[in-house]
Chains A and B, each alone.
Chain A
Amino acid sequence: MFGLASLALYILHALYWIYNTVKSTFGQVDHLPAPLDAKRPKLPQHLAFVLYADSKPFDTDSFKDQALEAVQNLVSWCRVVGITRLSVYDRHDILPRVIADIRELFDASSDDISDGSVTDSGLEFPPTPPESDSSDSRPVSPNQKSQRLQLGVTTLELAGPQDRTRQRLSAGKHTLRRRRQSEKDIGSKTLTLHILSQRSSKAAISTVASSLLRTSLAHHRDSDHKTQDEEFSVSIEDLKASLEGEHGFPPPDLMIVRSLTPRKHYKVPLELHGFPPWQIRLTEIYHDERPQPHWPMTENRTSALEEVEFRRALDSFASAEMRLGR
């Protein structure tokens, strides 16, 4: 009886395969999304991109090249659209190890990178040498490093071309530069890029928890007997302040999940591949489960991430309704 059921299951899967193949083949001919610079009723201010490879064996160099190309394209497209914050999560932790390559990428292409990280004081420090451990956020100053939470987020501020030109004309290479008072001059031109790793995910929450534990232990040592019996309380706001603060990253409005390798299967259901869970509470998720076209196969494949897919994601976001529990 079990053998008969297994045979029937095999036939069912075969029929399902045929259905998805036909659907995928004819479904690829659909209407084009709106142009990149089209006026959309709603745009994400913060876009997240989840990169992964679903092929085995895993070619690290090839993935790195495609990931860097994807980051370069994404930054370019975000600028056109007006998205001011981009987070890129790499399932395989390759991008966090090549932060220097990312900086070089933008220096080489359009000179639109702003070196140094922006501090709360508004000061921008001169460029520093590449980090030995690129997966950590850069310290704002050596004295503060011991107090910093290591949440696995590297943040780069990419100034726009016009702003970069003004900065170069107004300041020398090794002097402190003050952030311009007008938010309009810098804010609208600057794109904040967060490079995320697996350390930014669940491990970041445990890092914050450990930090709270140390704070609590210090408090208990310093306090009297009465307060030592009290339970330590952690609120959503406590976690939010740490995970979404200057050493973390804020919740994205839209997330695009994309494999950078040619898909082996006709249909790839959505998974989040370990993306940080705290920040995705209300994030709109875009994922095209259809495979990339397998024909015609050409020698020179275009970018693994196509602009048309980016535009499709924006259109999908523009049409989404947010009720926020109401």
Chain B
Amino acid sequence: MVSQLISRCWSWVGEQASSKLQDALLAIISAGPVPRHVAFVMDGNRRYARSKKKMVKEGHSDGFLALKRVLAICFRLNVKCVSTYGFAIDNFKRSPEEVEALMDLIEEKLLEICQHGDLLEQYGVRLNIVGNTALFPERVRVAARKAEDISRHNDKSILNLCMPYASSDEMATAVQSAVNKGLAAEDDITVEDIDSQLMTTLGRSPPLDLLIRTSGVKRLSDFLLWQCCENTQLQFSPTYWPDFGLWDIVPMLLDYQRKAWASA
């Protein structure tokens, strides 16, 4: 009885100390330059689940918890824009069962955002669904529109949920828009014209400073290719996404600060 009480007290003290330490660390880092726009490829949910002997569905759920944790870190640091690769157009190639489970999860989480928009309201986050949403089933499209509507008035920061997304699709769409606008002006299309028609730009996202991919994979997999090919630091972390947290991102933020100071 006494030992249990002592154990609980010790755990509580440990959690409080850890929380205070994290707060202090974030306060220290935010004293220096922070990236304006950070993108995440949240990779490794399934491998994480296999390593923990969990079902794939649980891996995706734990991955969603990691997303909430990392978003809280970013917005407490005053990162203006966060983009996440929620669902790739190529992911439709997965088994129908897994795709259906992912559609369920996406719809569930979007509706959760609508019902409990605490994180969005707390940090003044405007939610953008970035991607070819026509490929989603109707129920997910409805949930996406609702989630965007409840945060449309927020203007302090931006959260881009890229789904279903492919950078090649985004670039082709931007070129198409630029060409159709050019039909009236009959001028040549410039790089700036195409940039202005990207889905991220249309959502008022600033230039991308840092792109992070987890699980040790060192590819971009058709994510934000135009945005990250210049003046963006790419960080490939060996950690699986559901395990990704503050201690993984701190070195990346320090690397960014060194670059920002060197450029100043």
Alpha-carbon gap, A216 to B177, bound state (A): 13
Which of B68-76, B107-115, B133-141, B251-259 lies at the binding interface? Answer: B251-259
Contact A277 B191, beta carbon cutoff 8 Å: no
Contact A274 B28, beta carbon cutoff 8 Å: no
In whole Å, how far is A23's beta carbon from the nearest beta carbon of chain B?
11
Q: Which residue of B lies closest to A91 (CB)?
A: B230
In whole Å, how far is B169's beta carbon from the nearest beta carbon of chain A?
6
Point out the residues of chain B lying under 8 angstroms from A2, CB to CB. Answer: 31
- A283 touches which of B30, B172, B173, B219 (Cβ 8 Å): B219
B163 at the interface (CB under 8 A from A): no
B225 at the interface (CB under 8 A from A): yes
Contact A13 B180, beta carbon cutoff 8 Å: no
Alpha-carbon gap, A270 to B180, bound state (A): 36
Alpha-carbon gap, A235 to B171, bound state (A): 10
Point out the residues of chain A lying under 8 angstroms from B226, CB to CB. Answer: 202, 205, 277
Interface residues of A in 242-291 (CB under 8 A from B): 265, 267, 269-278, 280-286
Point out the residues of chain A lying under 8 angstroms from B255, CB to CB. Answer: 267, 269
Contact B167 A234, beta carbon cutoff 8 Å: no
Point out the residues of chain B lying under 8 angstroms from A276, CB to CB. Answer: 229
A176 at the interface (CB under 8 A from B): no
Contact A326 B94, beta carbon cutoff 8 Å: yes
Quick one: given A209-B189, A272-B230, A272-B234, are A235 and B172 in contact (CB under 8 Å)? yes
Contact A203 B191, beta carbon cutoff 8 Å: yes
Point out the residues of chain B lying under 8 angstroms from A209, CB to CB. Answer: 175, 178-179, 182, 189, 193-194
Quick one: given A233-B176, A325-B93, are A277 and B229 in contact (CB under 8 Å)? yes
Quick one: given A5-B27, A206-B189, A206-B193, are A320 and B218 in contact (CB under 8 Å)? yes
Alpha-carbon gap, A265 to B168, bound state (A): 34
Alpha-carbon gap, A234 to B182, bound state (A): 13
Quick one: given A202-B226, A210-B189, are A269 and B168 in contact (CB under 8 Å)? no
Contact A232 B230, beta carbon cutoff 8 Å: no
B97 at the interface (CB under 8 A from A): no
Alpha-carbon gap, A216 to B236, bound state (A): 42
- A212 touches which of B168, B175, B258 (Cβ 8 Å): B175
B237 at the interface (CB under 8 A from A): no
Interface residues of B in 124-151 (CB under 8 A from A): none
B118 at the interface (CB under 8 A from A): no
Contact B222 A282, beta carbon cutoff 8 Å: yes
B66 at the interface (CB under 8 A from A): no
- B232 touches which of A9, A220, A272 (Cβ 8 Å): A272
In whole Å, how far is A42's beta carbon from the nearest beta carbon of chain B?
14
Quick one: given A216-B183, A286-B218, are A234 and B31 in contact (CB under 8 Å)? no
In whole Å, how far is A241's beta carbon from the nearest beta carbon of chain B?
12
Contact A285 B221, beta carbon cutoff 8 Å: no
In whole Å, how far is B110's beta carbon from the nearest beta carbon of chain A?
21
In whole Å, how far is A146's beta carbon from the nearest beta carbon of chain B?
16
Alpha-carbon gap, A81 to B124, bound state (A): 54
B61 at the interface (CB under 8 A from A): no
A6 at the interface (CB under 8 A from B): yes
Point out the residues of chain A lying under 8 angstroms from B30, CB to CB. Answer: 5
- B225 touches which of A240, A265, A278 (Cβ 8 Å): A278
Point out the residues of chain B lying under 8 angstroms from A206, CB to CB. Answer: 188-191, 193-194
In whole Å, how far is B99's beta carbon from the nearest beta carbon of chain A?
11
B220 at the interface (CB under 8 A from A): yes
B91 at the interface (CB under 8 A from A): yes
Quick one: given A5-B27, A206-B190, are A234 and B175 in contact (CB under 8 Å)? yes
- A271 touches which of B32, B182, B234 (Cβ 8 Å): B234
Alpha-carbon gap, A278 to B234, bound state (A): 17
Contact A217 B186, beta carbon cutoff 8 Å: yes
Alpha-carbon gap, A277 to B223, bound state (A): 10
Alpha-carbon gap, A213 to B182, bound state (A): 7
A222 at the interface (CB under 8 A from B): no
Among B167, B194, B225, B233: residue with most chain A CB under 10 A: B225
Contact B258 A202, beta carbon cutoff 8 Å: no
Alpha-carbon gap, A62 to B28, bound state (A): 41
- A239 touches which of B92, B175, B251, B257 (Cβ 8 Å): B175
- B188 touches which of A201, A210, A280 (Cβ 8 Å): A210
A299 at the interface (CB under 8 A from B): no
Q: Which residue of B lies closest to A272 (CB)?
A: B229
A43 at the interface (CB under 8 A from B): no
Point out the residues of chain A lying under 8 angstroms from B259, CB to CB. Answer: 269
Contact A324 B93, beta carbon cutoff 8 Å: yes
Using a CB–CB cutoff of 8 Å, the interface residues on chain A facing chain B are 2, 5-6, 8-9, 12-13, 16, 201-203, 205-206, 208-210, 212-213, 216-217, 220, 231-236, 238-240, 265, 267, 269-278, 280-286, 316, 320-321, 324-326
Pairs of residues from A and B, 6 with the lowest C-beta to C-beta distance, nearest first: A325-B90, A5-B31, A234-B176, A209-B189, A277-B225, A277-B229
> A234-B173, A274-B229, A316-B218 are known contacts; what are 13 more A-B pairs with Cβ within 8 Å?
A202-B195, A206-B189, A217-B183, A234-B172, A234-B176, A269-B255, A271-B232, A271-B234, A273-B230, A277-B226, A281-B168, A281-B225, A325-B94
